[in-house]
Chains A and B, each alone.
Chain A
Amino acid sequence: MSKILIYPTNSLVLADLVDRFGHEPLSIPQEIRKKVTSVGLDSPPLNITPEDPKIGLKYAAVEVPSGVRGRMSLIGPLLERADAAVVVSDPEATFGCMGCARTNELVNFLIRAKKIPMLELPYPTNEDDARDFVYKIAEFLQSSEVLKHE
Chain B
Amino acid sequence: MEDTDDVSKKDVITKLIILSSRHMMPGDLLYKIYALRKDVIVKETCFGAEVSGKKEDVNSLIRDIRILDPYGIFIKERGFPIGDLRRCRAASGGGARPGFHQIEVEAATLPLMSRALSEYDMGVKPTTHEKPTKLDVDVFKKIIADCLHSL
Contact = CB atoms under 8 A, between A and B. Distances in A.
Contacts of B107: 12
**Interface SS of A by simple majority:** helix
A46 B86 contact: yes
Interface string B9-20: 110111010100
B28 to A, nearest CB: 20
Contact of B101 (A28, A36, A95, A134): A95
Interface size class of A (residues with CB under 8 A): 35 or more
Interface in B1-52: 9-10, 12-14, 16, 18
Contact of B77 (A33, A36, A45, A133): A33
A128 B124 CA distance: 11
Given A28-B79, A36-B80, A135-B120, A130 B102 contact: no
Interface string A92-126: 11011110000000000000000000000001111
A95 B102 contact: yes
Contacts of B18: 12
A135 B115 CA distance: 12
A12 B74 contact: yes
Among B98, B102, B124, the most chain A Cβ lie within 10 Å of the Cβ of B102
B93 to A, nearest CB: 15
Give the 5 A-B CB pairs with smallest separation, nearest first: A32-B79, A130-B112, A29-B79, A95-B101, A130-B116
23 contacts: A12-B16, A12-B74, A12-B102, A13-B113, A25-B77, A27-B76, A32-B79, A38-B10, A39-B9, A45-B86, A125-B109, A128-B127, A130-B113, A131-B120, A131-B126, A131-B127, A132-B126, A134-B116, A134-B119, A135-B120, A135-B125, A135-B126, A136-B126
